[in-house]
Amino acid sequence: MPTGFRVLHRKRKASAEQIAAYRDLPVANISDSMQRMSAGGASLRPMHAGGQMAGTALTVRCRPGDNLMMHYALNIAEPGDVIVVDAGGDLTNAITGELMLAYAAKKQLAGVVINGAVRDIRSIRANPLPVYAAGVTHRGPYKDGPGEINVTIAIDGMVIEPGDLMVGDEDGLLCVPLAEVERIYSLASERHASEIVKLQAIADGHNNRDWVLKKLQALGCELPE
């Protein structure tokens, strides 16, 4: 099977229960629980009407400006999948638009991530299907290949394996490795609960900020007498 132009089987995937659990967690809390060392890149922004994304990665690597392999990914995608396309971050040609995304929504996909450009932004902004992309252009794609489906991809250093858990909200998106899903969920849930308590303390006027001065003193910061 030729490297660079192939479709592989996805051998594992996050469960429906794992996906549902992550829908209630802010991506920032998940990111903090992963040591803030993983991210989809600041250029990948939410383009849709708003709301959480959580689903199983169906990975696509395609030639910049060409969406043939994404079309096939749409054919084989399952409900709850997030199609994650690495198109090299190129913004010359859109990889997807209104028609393909309407089909993705009809198939009950959990979202679409494009490391590249999209078009028909008015339609995308008006719909709840989570769509993350690096930019917008009116120029359409080509359909000649090559490309790969269900291979390991990387976006700005964030490695994504087929079947990993993809999460996203207004702050951006994140990949949680499948082997780490349970552990990260436990840490992120604790962090989220802690923040709720802190927010209530702020609302009640009981927020203690003494740690800031102690931190400055420990770091040797010069302070006024």
CB 100 within 8 A of CB 123: no
- 99 carries a ligand binding annotation: yes
Question: Cα(197)–Cα(146) distance, rounded to whole angstroms?
Answer: 51
Core vs surface per residue 155-171: b (16+ CB within 10 A) or e: beebebbbbbbbbbbee
Question: Cα(85)–Cα(70) distance, rounded to whole angstroms?
Answer: 7
Residue appearing with tokens 């991530």: 113
- 164 carries a ligand binding annotation: no
Question: Cα(60)–Cα(68) distance, rounded to whole angstroms?
Answer: 10
Question: Cα(132)–Cα(62) distance, rounded to whole angstroms?
Answer: 17
- 53 carries a ligand binding annotation: no
Coil vs helix vs strand at 209: coil
Nearest partner of 59 among 75, 88, 83, 35, judged by Cα:
83
- 98 carries a ligand binding annotation: yes
- 120 carries a ligand binding annotation: yes
Coil vs helix vs strand at 82: strand
Binding-site residues from annotation for substrate: 97-100, 119
Binding-site residues from annotation for Mg(2+): 120
Binding-site residues from annotation: 97-100, 119-120
